Structure 1
Amino acid sequence: MAIRPSVLRLLQRLTDLPTVVLSAKGDVLAQNPMACALLGDLSRWPDGRRNIIWQRILGTGHARVTLTRKEEAAWMQQAVGLLRTEERRSTVRRSMHKTIDHPEVGRLVLDCDTLLLPDTDQSMIVYSAAAGTREASALDVLRVIGTERISALPW
């Protein structure tokens, strides 16, 4: 599925925030380097299984995203909403918190906002943290180290 050039430019310019572009069915279409640093390189998932819903339910899962039972229920509702969006009826929550267990910077609770892309069946997922928080500092570290593995961090 093609992503508009203007959306790709926007994705490339969002250098401070981890961002992923998804199809209406949850297929991972693109991610920026910060998203690779935070979530891992989702393009390494096998063709046909590069889908956040498939991975969470049937695959190896999204190993870095940790959900409580309440968050899991909300996520499942959002996943169903994504699939319903394909039929033009949507109950998708546009904003939530996600907990990421990152191997280098530890557990991060991040704001996760879904931005709908006009004239497409695509959305952009943007992760952020409030300034001055441990999570914001951890994102600053990820911006520097990228996908490199390091032996120890001071947290």
Structure 2
Amino acid sequence: MNREELAGFLRSRRARLAPREAGLPEGGRRRTPGLRRQEVAQLAGMSIDYYIRLEQARGPHPSRQVLNALARALMLNTDERAHLFHLAGQPLEATRRRGDVPEGTLHLIAFLEEVPAYVLDAKYDILAWNPMASALMGDLDSHPRDDLNVIRWVFRSPELAEHLSDEEKGRFARASVADLRWAAGRYPGDPEIQALVAEMLACSPHFAALWDEHEVAVRREQRKCIHHSAVGTIDAICQVLPVPDRDDLRLVIYTTEPGSPSHQALRRLRQVTLSS
């Protein structure tokens, strides 16, 4: 059980929830935003002293019943509820598996000849990719293996600004941090994830500010507007799919609307990969 992280998560979720959203009266002026501790305890059906101890990182190990009550009281979504359970050690900690990408997944991305596709692990290391992904993201084959981390690119690489607008980069940065926090809760004892978080907290104030917000959201489908020097603008749908039997790996595929200018741009990018 990670008491400090659990306490911070509860405080952040309480602060974002307005009384009217929880079906409570406003009750006059409030010194701080969100619900009061007493209101959360009331909604969850527990004593105020018990809840205060949880928020002060000195409470007992909460049961599944208590966690379910807190999830309802704080109106957590599916990803946030799972994160709450992971932080409290319910269910048992998952262990992130390390090793090669399954052979079937490698075959799949090789057969996806017309769309960029790559495999990402829980700490945002790119483990495998096809030629289209390399052409879109900047010659991945030339990067050292330990440099293929998307989180580091987002917060430390000025080259990313050449491909994404400031607005796009901001959205992607926020989504990536929320997803990494979910992974940190899912695999709380993973030294590689812990080391990456510590590194980014030390070197990036932007990352630290987003991390401090305790947002949690698993990355799924996302739209991106990518500016490529060779083929122009590509409006893509970024599909994030789980790899079968490997809950620590995800397959990322970029698709476009058939017949659209972005589709034609991807076809031109395909010609670039064939001629190089």
**TM-score interval, smaller chain:** 0.7 to 0.9
User: Within 5 Å, which residues of 2 pair with 1:5-154?
Assistant: 5-62=103-160, 64-69=162-167, 71-83=168-180, 84-88=182-186, 91-120=217-246, 121-146=248-273
Residue 52 (structure 1) shift: 0.7
- What is the rounded CA distance, in whole Å, between the counterparts of 1:147 and 1:27 in structure 2? 26
- Give the Cα–Cα distance (whole angstroms) in 2 for the partners of residues 117 and 81 of structure 1: 20
Residue 134 of structure 1: how far off its partner (Å): 0.4
Distance 1:97 1:33, change over 3 A: same
Q: What is the CA RMSD across the aligned residues, in angstroms?
A: 2.2
Change beyond 3 A, Cα 1:147–1:59? farther
Q: Given the superposition, is the C-alpha separation of residues 123 and 65 from structure 1 closer, same or farther in structure 2, using an over 3 Å criterion? A: farther
Q: Quote the offset at 1:147 in angstroms.
A: 7.0
Larger radius of gyration: 2
Q: Is the 8 A contact 1:18 1:35 kept in 2?
A: yes
SS of residue paired to 1:131: coil
Tell me, in whole angstroms, the C-alpha distance in 2 between the residues paired with 1:78 and 1:45.
24
CA distance in 2 between partners of 1:10 and 1:47 (Å): 21
Work out the percentage of aligned pairs sharing the same amino acid: 32
Q: Distance in 2 between matches of 1:110 and 1:148?
A: 23
Deviation at 1:67, TM superposition (A): 3.4
Determine if contact 2:119/2:127 at 8 Å carries over to the other structure: yes
3-state DSSP of counterpart to 1:12: helix
The Cα of 1:88 is off from its aligned counterpart by 2.1
Identify if the C-alpha distance between structure 1 residues 81 and 117 changes in structure 2 by more than 3 Å, giving closer, same or farther.
farther
Deviation at 1:68, TM superposition (A): 3.7
- Give unpaired runs (5+ residues) of structure 2: 1-98, 188-215
Provide the secondary structure at the position in 1 that maps to 2:222: strand
The CA deviation at 1:144 is 1.8
Higher strand residue share: 1
Match for residue 152 of structure 1? none
Deviation at 1:142, TM superposition (A): 1.4
> For residues 2-33 of structure 1, what are the alpha-carbon distances to aligned partners after superposition, in whole Å with 9 as ceiling and x for unaligned?
10001101111111211011111110111101
Quick check: 1:28–1:42 contact (8 Å CA) kept in 2? Answer: no
Give the drift of 1:94.
0.6
Q: Does structure 2 retain, via aligned residues, the 8 Å contact 1:36–1:147? A: no
Give the structure with the higher percent helix.
Answer: 2
